[in-house]
Structure 1
């Protein structure tokens, strides 16, 4: 016996497999969401502005998981049912919000590279992101709950996997769902391309400066947006090149701590012999610019989030375009892929948050250990 659910005809076995896979994937996403929140709460190493955006998005992901966990129960309840309408509302709002939060991370990266935004400046943007993303996703999703007519029925209805904008309203689904998603994706790509170009330009400048002053420049850091490299005087008044670290976890250059090794304890002041110290891998200098932010913490993680996002949206978009071009199109393997991919958003976010975050923390800790080594004359 075949069950016609929106666009596809599924037998009992196919429907059962589809339901099981989407709910297993949803469970993994729920674990990913809990991991993000717990890691942020219990680890002080996951507290920079990018981490905060990811944690805020995790609460949106939690409601997205609610939608995918309902799975085929929404369509089974019938299009006019409260369960189907509730699932349709969730499906319209929170996947788009996930894409917009990923774009917000890209905006932060752009502001860091081009505008030299520091930690405080980035945090002041959070409430604006939250208000904007919630508004532009909630209002359309709410309005669509009240749109229906005798010919097409309610706007939200079965699309085989779950309830969303129904097939009879397919043009609205493309315009109100896939267009905002892919517009945000392309905008994010553009932002990362601009960032990549600027980083490449600055690294060429840094290599040139490095060769002139015979200094070691960390390959994982970004100079201030004005393009100028900051220097610290050594014990004889000469200039040594400063390396860039995250200001949230390092003191400033004026802090008389042991880490500012190459500019403290001037032997000339103590009556000793003046020596020139050449920076080496064992001589780490804290940056004069406290707004400099490290590459791995503030750029690498959002970039991986974006790549995971692309993987999630390829299959659903392919299925939607194919069904729009040919209304009779149906592919059960593609349908399974869409169900699993769409249910794993929170899972991939959790993986990226923990794996990339731990690698960044480990590298930062290694840099700290090197910074505390005694200066070699």
Structure 2
């Protein structure tokens, strides 16, 4: 989240432009606040929204709440003056929480990588959460706090007005580029790399297994569906793929990487039925199911979070590059784009959380109905 620097040339914002920007930012911040409330409420009330990805989004929602506080202050921070407590508080929030949001998106990508390549289960991922939390808090809080105490006669306080809000002041722009944008874009590049690796691996497994379900991706491709008599009755064309949310059966034979028995701690196993001709019962054998992951919940959801994040940083980064190349650069439309995109982060997170989660919930409901019909 960034704002255009105070122009170093003659260009200035009128009172009307500042007022309009403040209104736009606060409306967008209100939408983000509703997104944050939706995430927290749905997570607490619905047992379906409890898998490892949902938990990371839930934790990040509290970071987004502080981010909403920052953008809701809007131009009131700069109006109070650089040394004011409000401007310094806003600068602290602006330095810590947008970076934290990017890092939470990064750990979601790391979790996807661990699931696909290392067979991590829910318990294993849950044990990593406190490490993620501690690492992100320390990494973002320490510099944000230290910058509060930096103030020189030549450059003034490190946090100051950047027109839309208070952040690292223009005279400290090198710190803004290295500590702020350097962290953000390094994280984005790592996320892109991880998703590229995951995408290649998923495509390879789907091709190898000729997956019969559009929402499941097998984590073990040693046996293809056509060769697995336990889970397909070739005479009637009945196939069953196991969603990542199910409990692993016959744990002594098939275990995730850390040896836990359930991926997301769900109480009952669920599966997705694909029936191409008639509905015949499948006689289970001692052979365990292949573990598989839900494509929507464990790939699409974090991927859409990343795409929303990427869209948020296009305008600020464009502005930063343009301002760095030409210190006199000023664009009011770009400033509006920066204010809107920076204030909508919580809204996009809530939208992705609800929409993708609901689609996955509907699919699980269909799977439960399928199980009842088979019985």
Name the TM-score, length of structure 2 as normaliser: 0.84
1:151 to 149, 154, 161: 154
Conserved 8 A contact 2:5-2:323: no
Q: Classify 1:226/1:217 alpha carbon distance in 2 versus 1 (closer, same or farther; 3 Å).
A: closer
Specify the structure having the higher radius of gyration (Cα): 1
Task: Determine if the alignment matches structure 1 residue 186 to structure 2 residue 189.
Answer: yes
Aligned to 1:14: 17
Structure 1 residue matching 2:373: 3-state secondary structure: coil
* Aligned residue runs from structure 1 range 249-328, under 5 A: 252=249, 282=279, 288-289=288-289, 292-328=292-328
Aligned to 1:59: 62
Partners of 2:278 and 2:193 in 1: CA distance: 36
Partners of 2:352 and 2:78 in 1: CA distance: 32
* Aligned residue runs from structure 1 range 110-125, under 5 A: 110-125=113-128
1:108 CA displacement: 0.6
1:33 to 9, 33, 36: 36
Task: Determine if the alignment matches structure 1 residue 169 to structure 2 residue 179.
Answer: no
Aligned to 2:242: 244
Q: Deviations over 1:232-288 (max 9, x none)?
A: 54899x9x965121334x67379xx9989x9xxxxxxxxxxxxxxx98684697993
Structure 2 residue matching 1:293: 3-state secondary structure: strand
1:84 CA displacement: 0.6
Conserved 8 A contact 2:31-2:347: yes
Conserved 8 A contact 1:113-1:224: yes
Structure 1 residue matching 2:308: 3-state secondary structure: helix
Structure 2 residue matching 1:201: 3-state secondary structure: helix
1:68 CA displacement: 0.5
Q: Classify 1:332/1:366 alpha carbon distance in 2 versus 1 (closer, same or farther; 3 Å).
A: same
Aligned to 2:212: 217
Conserved 8 A contact 2:270-2:367: no
Conserved 8 A contact 1:72-1:161: yes
Structure 2 residue matching 1:125: 3-state secondary structure: helix
2:102 to 99, 102, 113: 99
Instruction: For structure 2, list consecutive stretches of 5 or more residues without a partner in the other structure.
Output: 252-267
Conserved 8 A contact 2:158-2:172: yes
Q: Deviations over 1:284-304 (max 9, x none)?
A: 979935853311111111011
Q: Classify 1:301/1:19 alpha carbon distance in 2 versus 1 (closer, same or farther; 3 Å).
A: same
Task: Determine if the alignment matches structure 1 residue 331 to structure 2 residue 331.
Answer: yes
Q: Classify 1:118/1:5 alpha carbon distance in 2 versus 1 (closer, same or farther; 3 Å).
A: closer
Count residues in correspondence. Answer: 345
Structure 1 residue matching 2:293: 3-state secondary structure: coil
Aligned to 2:255: none
Name the TM-score, length of structure 1 as normaliser: 0.84
Could you say what the CA RMSD is over the residues aligned between the two structures, in angstroms? 3.0
Instruction: For structure 1, list consecutive stretches of 5 or more residues without a partner in the other structure.
Output: 208-215, 263-277
Q: Classify 1:198/1:290 alpha carbon distance in 2 versus 1 (closer, same or farther; 3 Å).
A: closer
Q: Classify 1:241/1:165 alpha carbon distance in 2 versus 1 (closer, same or farther; 3 Å).
A: same
1:229 CA displacement: 4.9
Q: Classify 1:293/1:171 alpha carbon distance in 2 versus 1 (closer, same or farther; 3 Å).
A: same
Relative contact order (C-alpha < 8 Å, sep 6+): which is higher? 2
Task: Determine if the alignment matches structure 1 residue 73 to structure 2 residue 76.
Answer: yes
Aligned to 1:267: none
Q: Classify 1:85/1:198 alpha carbon distance in 2 versus 1 (closer, same or farther; 3 Å).
A: same
Partners of 2:270 and 2:332 in 1: CA distance: 61
